[in-house]
Amino acid sequence: MAGLVLHTAPASEPITLAEAKSYLRVDSSGDDALITSLISTSRKLCEEHTQRALMTQTYQLFLDALEDVEDSLWEGMRTAPYINYYKNYIELPMPPAVSISHIKTYDDSDTATTFSSDNYYVDNARQPARVVLRTGETFPTALRVANAIEVQYVTGYTSASAVPEPIKFAIYQVLTYLYEHRGDMYEGKTSLPATATRLLAPYVVYSGMGSSKLMSLG
């Protein structure tokens, strides 16, 4: 895909400073600023690992054309040669998607045109969610060669209480490691602590067959 840009960061974190200090068994306030920073960092690391938005935030997805959307993992075999065909949907990275703010298209003069919400619906029955064109609808043609389509959408769990408990405990695990091993690497590696990885495993979102995540599974 052409690009995914964080437009508005989360206004809160899945765990509070008080909860983090309780888990770390820290009674003083001397490290409050550090722990607050580590909470955000731990959440971001877990988001990167799972490819999920863990708190409400807004993204902008820029596509060169509808053909460059990454498909989810294809189950089964394809017997025909690959054909780059026109798709009628856009998959939204970093689930769980909440709502679409707008879809805009850009022509060669960089003029933006808002695509009517009557032309599509949001398929939230699957994750990642999809923006699907309604029957008979198509995107405008004669668009610019790069970043021709912009989808701005709100995604993420809507409150800390909505974040699955295993994800929260994974954040605690990462936070604890970062706090107690400042400047160190976990067992000589740059990966997440093993317990956090196992807790997050059911929530990892895999991309298309050519993704680096899938290649790393081999």
CATH label of the domain that carries residue 50: 1.10.3230
Asked if residue 151 and residue 88 are part of one domain, the reply reads yes
The model's pLDDT over 77-107, given as tens digits with 9 standing for 90+, comes to 656 554 444 578 999 999 999 999 999 999 9
- Among 9, 23, 46, 33, residue whose Cα is nearest residue 171: 46
Residue 67 counted as domain residue: yes
> Does residue 93 fall inside a structural domain?
yes
> Which of 107, 131, 155 is the last residue in one of the domains?
155
Q: 142's torsion region: left (phi>0), alpha (psi -120 to 50) or beta?
A: left
Is residue 42 scored above 80 in pLDDT? yes
45 occurs within a structural domain: yes
Same domain, 192 and 175: yes
What residue has token string 């054909």?
Answer: 83
**Domain count along the chain:** 2
| pLDDT tens column, 140-186 | 888 999 999 999 999 999 999 999 999 999 999 999 999 998 766 55
Instruction: Indicate whether 6 belongs to any domain.
Output: no
Instruction: Say whether both 145 and 87 belong to one domain.
Output: yes
40 and 123, same domain (yes or no): no
**Partner residues linked to 153 by β-bridges:** 59, 100
pLDDT at 181: 87
Domain ends where: 108, 134, 155?
A: 155
Residues 183 and 133 in one domain: no
Q: Is residue 75, in this structure, part of any structural domain at all?
A: yes
* Residue 136 and residue 75 share a domain: yes
Q: Is residue 141 part of a domain?
A: yes
* Residue ending a domain, choose from 155, 175, 196: 155
Q: Can you tell me the distance from the alpha carbon of 101 to that of 85, in angstroms, rounded to the nearest whole number?
A: 27
The pLDDT > 70 percentage for the chain reads: 81
pLDDT, residue 88, reads 86
Residues 117 and 81 in one domain: yes
Q: Is residue 2 part of a domain?
A: no
Q: Which domain holds residue 130?
A: 60-155
As beta bridge partners, residue 130 has 91, 123
Handedness of CA 88, 93, 96, 100 (dihedral sign): negative
Q: Are residues 43 and 124 in the same domain?
A: no
Question: Is residue 151 situated within a structural domain?
Answer: yes
Token pair of 213 as six digits: 């995540």
According to DSSP, the residues that pair with 143 across neighbouring strands are: 107
Six-digit token string for 120: 């599509």
Please indicate, yes or no, whether residues 70 and 93 belong to a single structural domain of this protein: yes
Q: Could you tell me which residue, 82 or 116, shows the higher pLDDT?
A: 116
